[in-house]
Structure 1
Amino acid sequence: MSLLEIVVLALIQGLTEFLPISSSAHLILPSQLLGWQDQGLAFDLILNIGTLAAVLIYFRVEVVNMSVAWVGSLRGQGKTQDSRLAWWIIWSTIPAAVVGFFGKSLVETYLRSGYVIAVTTVIFGLLLWWADAQAKQIKTEYQTGLKGAILIGFAQVLALIPGTSRSGITITAGLMLGLTRSGAARFSFLMSIPIIGMASSYDLLKLILSDEYVDWSALYLGAGISFASALLCIHGFLLLLNKVGMMPFVIYRLLLGGALFYILAMN
């Protein structure tokens, strides 16, 4: 991989993992426009680890509080808002984990096409606009509730379809359930921790069992860039969210979807 490929792909991963604009829609662009080859399993793994480290560090206080409270709830020390949130995050992860384990190969075989990505980029962008426009915004992430968490978890299953955007569809579901923009985004980011962790573990196992060559210098650089860009992205997104709303991301998705349709039609 060239230096340009490493930098561009790491930035795409770091920025699009947490913005509601679809990482898969962006990852198709370098290959379509520049003819870049697949970056390999090891590079995918290290980029995921970089984004996982970013969300863990940004939400380190919440993660520690939730972990301590969750262990306390197992020991019969009573329930707190942190232990409830921890349990909701766990329950919200189960649908995507189960469907992803059994259906990932089907998705990659039948749905990983440029036209599917273009269509879902537009459709779920419009759904995000509708949810934001209709949102009551009366609850924080600590008021999500078990039923709400499970519903957001089922929404996350849709992110297995390329172009949907994991953060986009979970934030959309959160808004539809009455969460504030900030509450929906924070719940989405927190629930990304176990799902990214499981995906990274799965990729690590595949890498161990494969004979793929590993370029360690490329991995270190990619991890650093994806970590830094993801950390800045999370901070900036939460800082600006209540000021700008979801409309800029909706417009961007519509333009991106149109660009993908044009590129695919020209090829």
Structure 2
Amino acid sequence: MSLLTLSLLAIVQGITEFLPISSSAHLILLHELTGQSHEALALDVAVHLGSILAVVLYFRADVLRAFVGAGQVLRGHLASPEAFLALCLMLATLPALVLGAVLAVTGWVDLLRDARLIGVTMIVFGVWLWWVHRTAPEVRAAREWRLRDALRMGLWQAVALVPGVSRSGITITEARRLGFDRHSAAKLSMLMSVPITLATGGYLGLKVVKRGMDAALLGDIALGAVLAFGAAWAALALMMRFLDRVSFTPYVIYRILLGAVLLALV
């Protein structure tokens, strides 16, 4: 893979990984345009490694709380706020893990890589994000997250396995629909991304190892991870910083335009 292609793919995917504009849709489309195959899978691993590191460092205090809470849950201590946060994240992750396993085993995941489907989902779920954001009240904070909220957001996170839906977009939409303010909705969505992204990255990593890696491919993964980390960190920091002034409307406009272009090209 050329340095230019690697840099383009890693940076674009790092930027879109946590914005509500569907990173999977961009990843599929860019792979098709650049004609990558084996290297594309390696880049997927790199993007997951870099982007998840960006989230872990940006929300390090909350991630540490969840990590401590997970240890408490395993020991049967469920009374602390840390354990409750870990339980919520576990519950929110379960639906996507189950559906993802079904899609992987059956091979149905390949059927979803369709430009028409991506175009439709980009538009439909973009409009839904806009509507919910305009109409839903902002009366709850992230500390008020409950198990039933986690389950509902987790079910929608599973739906985001369909390219074009956007994992961050759909979970932010559901959080806003549940009454969480925009910062809390984005924060909960990002925390939910940690376990599912680790699981996805691990699965893809195993596939790469089975196919075999040479020194050049390993170097591509390392460079892609670094570039994706920088792009993901910048996109995440800017989105969180300017949510009060920018909201989600620019992302919705982008989704609709890209979806329309895809449908027109098809």
Give 1:31-42 correspondences, 5 Å limit: 31=31, 34-38=33-37, 39-42=39-42
Task: Find the counterpart in structure 2 of residue 126 from structure 1.
Answer: 127
Task: Find the counterpart in structure 2 of residue 210 from structure 1.
Answer: 211
Task: Find the counterpart in structure 2 of residue 93 from structure 1.
Answer: 93
Task: Find the counterpart in structure 1 of residue 247 from structure 2.
Answer: 245
Q: What is the aligned residue count?
A: 263
Task: Find the counterpart in structure 2 of residue 184 from structure 1.
Answer: 185
Task: Find the counterpart in structure 2 of residue 259 from structure 1.
Answer: 261
Counterpart secondary structure, 1:52: helix
Q: Which moved more, 1:236-245 or 1:113-122?
A: 236-245
CA contact (8 A) 2:119 2:164 kept: yes
CA contact (8 A) 2:51 2:232 kept: yes
Return closer, same or farther for 1:217/1:63 CA change in 2, 3 Å cut-off.
same
Return closer, same or farther for 1:222/1:35 CA change in 2, 3 Å cut-off.
closer
State the AA in 1 paired with 2:169.
G
Deviation sequence 1:51-70 (CA, Å, 0-9, x none): 11111111111111222244
Whole-Å separation in 1 of the counterparts to 2:31 and 2:75 = 51
State the AA in 1 paired with 2:6.
I
CA contact (8 A) 1:45 1:200 kept: yes
How far 1:43 sits from its partner (Å)? Answer: 2.0
State the AA in 1 paired with 2:205.
L
Task: Find the counterpart in structure 2 of residue 30 from structure 1.
Answer: 30
How far 1:190 sits from its partner (Å)? Answer: 0.4
Mind listing any 5+ residue stretches in structure 2 that lack a counterpart?
A: none
Deviation sequence 1:92-148 (CA, Å, 0-9, x none): 000000111112344423221011000000000011011101121111122121101
State the AA in 1 paired with 2:66.
M
State the AA in 2 paired with 1:219.
I
Q: Which moved more, 1:5-14 or 1:34-43?
A: 34-43
State the AA in 2 paired with 1:239.
R
Whole-Å separation in 1 of the counterparts to 2:71 and 2:212 = 39
Whole-Å separation in 2 of the counterparts to 1:226 and 1:194 = 18
State the AA in 2 paired with 1:261.
L
Task: Find the counterpart in structure 2 of residue 65 from structure 1.
Answer: 65
CA contact (8 A) 2:5 2:34 kept: no
How far 1:161 sits from its partner (Å)? Answer: 0.6
CA contact (8 A) 2:10 2:43 kept: no
Superposed CA RMSD in Å reads 1.8
How far 1:46 sits from its partner (Å)? Answer: 1.6
Return closer, same or farther for 1:70/1:221 CA change in 2, 3 Å cut-off.
closer
| Pair 1:232 & 2:234 matched | yes
Task: Find the counterpart in structure 1 of residue 117 from structure 2.
Answer: 116
Return closer, same or farther for 1:174/1:11 CA change in 2, 3 Å cut-off.
same
Whole-Å separation in 1 of the counterparts to 2:180 and 2:200 = 27
Return closer, same or farther for 1:35/1:51 CA change in 2, 3 Å cut-off.
closer
TM-score by length of 1: 0.92
State the AA in 1 paired with 2:234.
L
Deviation sequence 1:173-228 (CA, Å, 0-9, x none): 11111111111111110010000100111112212222355523322221110011
